[in-house]
Amino acid sequence: MKTTATVLRSMGHKSPFAESKPLKRVELELEPPQPGELLVKVRAAGLCHSDLSVITGKRPRVMPMALGHEAAGEVVEIGSAGSAFSPGDHVVLAFVPACGDCPFCRQGRPALCEAGAAANHNGTLLGGHHRLQDDGGNDVHHHLGVSAFSDHIVVSERSAVVVPNDLPFEIAALFGCAVLTGAGAVLNTAAEALPAASIGVFGLGGVGLAALLAAKSQGASEIVAVDRVPRCNDRDRRHGR
Ligand SMILES: [Zn+2]
Ligand SMILES: [Zn+2]
């Protein structure tokens, strides 16, 4: 089938990107999902600073790449019978697929999955495959196994987590990067020190705000939030923090 994706063909672009225009919306061939994979219709996606870092080249990736890694969507098709997923499931996409079998996964540290890191480095799905091709028949790489800025994507089941159907997609999408990164930092590394400890959060984008919410939820005795962008500070003042 065809999908419309947002493709970056080279890195090193300067901002403002409205002028350098590094991204192109293009129609690509999307192969059907194979066993262990899902076809997902993307319903919401977020722009993360890590996307911009690929565009500038600060966080180099293999080119060309269908960009985007923070998304939620709806399962359209499953690649194998007996899957734990069903068409119609709402899913959040995770930017590190966890194989479940490597030493880190077995230790309960899936964010450090070796196979997931290798797939992300190579711009493939977990398992080493590409499911995207351009009109010349050349592979287009997957961004962190997700390629969120597309209308349909094929992903490893290991990149997807089912969420309740009544959770709005635009909120669910934030769990794909901002919440797991920001709240994850607080809940996984700072929780033991809470609520006695005070917490400083530097930078109030999606990640920082998620960290702030998690610190608040854990009853941190004091939260100091800092951002050099005035409108972020204004937002804090409006909410009385
Ligand atoms: Zn991100
Ligand atoms: Zn693993």
Decide which of 3.40.50.720, 3.30.390.30, 3.30.43.10, 3.40.50.300 is the CATH code for 180-238: 3.40.50.720
Q: Which ligand is nearest to the CA of 97?
A: 2
Strand partners, 75: 40
Sorted by sequence, the CB contacts under 8 Å of residue 187 that are 6+ apart come out as: 214, 218
The residue whose two tokens read 């969420």 is 163
Q: How far is the CA of 102 from the centre of ligand 2 (A)?
A: 4
Output the pLDDT for position 234: 59
Residue type at 48 in one-letter notation: C
Q: How far is the CA of 84 from the centre of ligand 2 (A)?
A: 19
Fold of 2-173: Quinone Oxidoreductase; Chain A, domain 1 (3.90.180)
Distances (CA, A) of 88 to 40, 45, 59, 163: 9, 18, 34, 11
Q: Where in the chain is the domain with CATH 3.40.50.720?
A: 180-238
CB atoms within 10 A of CB 19: 8
Q: Where in the chain is the domain with CATH 3.90.180.10?
A: 2-173
Q: How far is the CA of 81 from the centre of ligand 1 (A)?
A: 32
Sign of CA dihedral 74, 52, 156, 1: positive
Rounded to whole angstroms, the Cα distance separating 104 from 97 reads: 12
Q: How far is the CA of 73 from the centre of ligand 1 (A)?
A: 17
Q: How far is the CA of 241 from the centre of ligand 2 (A)?
A: 40
Rounded to whole angstroms, the Cα distance separating 80 from 91 reads: 17
Distances (CA, A) of 227 to 143, 180, 184, 211, 234: 28, 20, 20, 13, 10
CB atoms within 10 A of CB 55: 21
Q: How far is the CA of 94 from the centre of ligand 2 (A)?
A: 14
Q: Which ligand is nearest to the CA of 70?
A: 1
Output the pLDDT for position 233: 60
**Mean pLDDT in order along the chain per 10 residues (241 residues):** 98 93 97 97 96 96 98 97 94 96 95 96 96 97 98 98 98 96 92 86 94 93 90 54 40
